[in-house]
């Protein structure tokens, strides 16, 4: 359970960072949700690819996952 809470916190921070990196104007709750979803996707990808982990790798994959979700969302909205 503590790992899940940490994933939510990391995901929220990753979502905020991803929206800033992609220069998207997204409200804070939406950015946090996208980040958490990206963290979940990144966490699954991490477990499939490597067996080594850590909070730094989790954060990087969460940011990348959030950026991928934001890109996909932009494409769907067009």
Contact by Cβ (8 Å): 11, 62 = yes
> Does the pLDDT at position 78 exceed 80?
no
Cα-Cα-Cα-Cα torsion 5, 7, 9, 10, nearest 10 degrees, comes to: 160
Q: Containing H/E element for 14?
A: helix 2-21
pLDDT the model gives residue 18:
87
Going from N- to C-terminal start, the domains of the chain cover: 2-77
Cα(39)–Cα(13) distance, integer angstroms: 10
Mean pLDDT (whole number) for 14-19: 87
Tell me the pLDDT tens digit for each residue of 19-58.
898 888 888 888 888 888 877 887 777 777 776 667 777 7
Tokens 């990391």 -> residue:
10
> Does the pLDDT at position 14 exceed 80?
yes
Residue 68: alpha-carbon gap to chain centroid: 9
């Amino acid at each position: 359970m503590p790992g899940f809470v940490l994933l939510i916190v990391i995901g929220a921070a990753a979502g905020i960072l991803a929206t800033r990196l992609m220069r998207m104007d997204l409200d804070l709750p939406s950015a946090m949700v996208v980040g958490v979803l990206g963290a979940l996707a990144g966490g699954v990808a991490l477990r499939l690819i490597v067996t080594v982990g850590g909070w730094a790798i989790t954060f990087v994959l969460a940011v990348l996952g959030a950026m991928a979700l934001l890109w996909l969302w932009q494409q769907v909205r067009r």
